[in-house]
Structure 1
Amino acid sequence: MPIKYKLMHRTQPGVAGGGRKRWYAAIASDGEVTIDDLVKQIEKFSALSEADIRGVIIALENVIQDQLVNGKIIRLDKLGSFYPSLSSEGVEKDVDFTVANIKGAKVNYRPGKRISDSLSTASFKKKD
């Protein structure tokens, strides 16, 4: 199934003042896949029960949360990696930096090679 896209009329990225408006492609979401959907699909390829699969997914979520809060990188082999990053205000001298300069943390995801490569074979279709 192709990835659906829509056209967005936006100013040029990186151009001071916005530059000329141009048309750019953007993903047009084609729905969601929930944990329930994933569990049903995984159940087809596994000898595990629905409850076991759901339990493993929930446990994985809990472990990932705990490890990210501790500043760890979580490498899930072919799935990819999750890692924390920070946003902060800059200061002139390193001695002036305090925790108050940190404005937030977020989670980044870097897909594994197989997941990245899967998009190289994707086809595209304009959403009606």
Structure 2
Amino acid sequence: MAIPFKRMGRKDPRKDDGVVKFHPQLVTQGQSVDLDKLAYIMKDKSSLSLGDIQSVLTNFVEAMRSELFDGKSVNIRDFGVFSLSATTQGADTKGKCTMKNIKTVNINFRPSSSVRPNLTSTRAGEKIEFLDLDAPKTKNEGGGTPDEGDNEKPGGGGDDGETPDPAA
């Protein structure tokens, strides 16, 4: 399965006269996967029942929240580290800096190198493939991507008599 992407034009927000440059933007398709779906997938790879896996995952989430809210980071080997950070408002003096200056608390995740996407991987199970949603539906004779220099039309390409499907 490939990760779909669209070509999106963006200006540099730091420049008033920024030129639009096109960037690939990854697209999430379908509904997000919840703990029940993960448990169902895991059931086929273990001797545990679906209920056992759901119970373990639910307890895992509760334990992780508890440890994070106790001021600790949670390091899951071969997965990553979860920790808390805060968005705060500055104070003029140390004495005026209180918990009231904390506006929001966020959970951060830093993936370990074993799950971090690697674009140069050559192993079949670890290789990431991409699907260009803006490419024409017909196969390109060269087997590669359409002309990347044409920023006017999605999918690039010259005048081959076909109009790209606008619903794509």
TM-score by structure 2 length? 0.68
Residue 75 (structure 1) shift: 0.6
**Structure 1 unaligned residues grouped into runs of 5+:** none
Structure 2 residue aligned with 1:43: 43
More deviation, 90-99/49-58: 90-99
**Given residue 103 of structure 1, which amino acid in structure 2 is its aligned partner?**
K
Instruction: Tell me, in whole angstroms, the C-alpha distance in 2 between the residues paired with 1:11 and 1:48.
Output: 51
CA distance in 2, matches of 1:22, 1:42: 42
The question of 1:72 aligning with 2:78 is answered no
Aligned equivalent of 1:58? 58
Contact 2:117 2:128 in 1 (8 A): no
Percentage of matched positions with identical amino acids? 26
The correspondence of residues 5-44 of structure 1 with structure 2, limited to 5 A, is 5-13=5-13, 15-17=14-16, 19-31=18-30, 32-44=32-44
The total of aligned residue pairs comes to 127
- How far off is 1:122 after superposition? 1.2
- Is the contact made by 2:73 and 2:84 (CA closer than 8 Å) also made in structure 1? yes
Q: Which has the higher contact order (CA 8 A, sep 6+)?
A: 1
Deviation at 1:72, TM superposition (A): 1.1
C-alpha RMSD over aligned residues: 1.9
Match of 1:122 among 109, 115, 128: 128
CA distance in 2, matches of 1:96, 1:37: 47
1:28-69 CA deviation, whole Å, 9 max, x = no partner?
112232323211221111111110000000001111111111
Distance 2:116 2:105 in 1: 25
Write 1 or 2 for the structure with the bigger share of helix. 1
Letter in 2 for 1:52: D
Name the amino acid aligned to 2:43: E
Q: Which has the greater radius of gyration?
A: 2
Alpha carbons of 1:9 and 1:115: their partners in 2 closer, same or farther (altered >3 Å)? same
Q: Which residue of 2 aligns with 1:98?
A: 98
Q: Tell me what 2:109 maps to.
A: 109
TM-score by length of 1: 0.87
Amino acid at match of 2:18: G
Identify unmatched segments of 5+ residues in structure 2. 121-126, 134-167
Q: Distance in 1 between matches of 2:99 and 2:35?
A: 36
